[in-house]
Amino acid sequence: MEKLHEQGVTFLFISHHLSEVYDICQDVTVYRDARHIITAPVAELDKRGLIEAMTGEKYAEREYHPRKLDGETTLQVNQLNRNGAYHNVSFAVRRGEMVGLAGGGGCGKIAVAETLVGLQTADAGEILLKGKPYPAGSVKAALAAGIGFVPQDRHHEGFVPDMSIAENATLSILERLSRWGFISRKRQNKLAQQWFDALDIKAYGIDQPVSGLSGGNQQKVVQARAMVPTTPICWS
């Protein structure tokens, strides 16, 4: 891009990553909820101002104070292995805790998450869910346990584009919403509306197809689907 820019090529660069904006761009325009918020030279807009323009909220530096967690261990992973993907992975997650798996591309973090939600199998190791053995590699077991998953590729793995927000948000719990093989639209819509409001999804209603939403709101629908089962664990 730098070489092309030196040759006079103009770029319209779209990104949510602040570091990329400051590294690449000379000017920045912020849109929020389909409204133009600001256009300014990057050199004249500091990080604080850009964040406030993007979020609509005052930015404040916050010190990190780790919370003392006394809750039970919800998930325990011991020496989990999958040949060619990850090796000897061990960690624990307590109720109410957020744990991050960090690493570069191909390090195995996605494979670990997919193993825990049943999309891959492990060659060795132990997984305990609330102290009880949990079968890795079983989507059925993951759904029964209420484990939610927000996949990395939301377009191909996270939602069905032509289905509505309500239909996508409740895909993982259709059995709970059905009786004699028929889905209760009333119950489905009530539950979908709760998450529509809770996540502040920008759309004309829960009947709107997900294909017509912005990328950020599509991600919220995927998040709703992961959280709808009143999940004790959510991988994102």
Tens place of pLDDT for every residue, the chain, 236 residues?
888 888 888 888 888 788 888 988 999 999 887 789 999 999 999 988 888 888 888 766 666 666 676 778 888 999 999 998 999 999 988 888 888 888 877 888 889 989 988 888 899 999 888 888 888 788 888 888 878 888 888 888 889 999 999 999 998 888 888 888 888 899 999 989 998 999 999 999 999 999 999 888 999 999 888 888 765 666 66
Cα–Cα dist 111/235, whole Å: 12
Cα–Cα dist 116/99, whole Å: 14
CA geometry: angle 145, 148, 151, nearest 5 deg: 145
What is the location of CATH 3.40.50.300 in the chain?
Answer: 154-235
Cα–Cα dist 96/170, whole Å: 23
- Span 154-235: which CATH code? 3.40.50.300
Q: Which amino acid is at 137?
A: G
- What are the two backbone dihedrals, phi and then psi, of residue 18, each rounded to the nearest 5 degrees? -60, -40
The two three-digit tokens of residue 67, written as one number: 């919370």
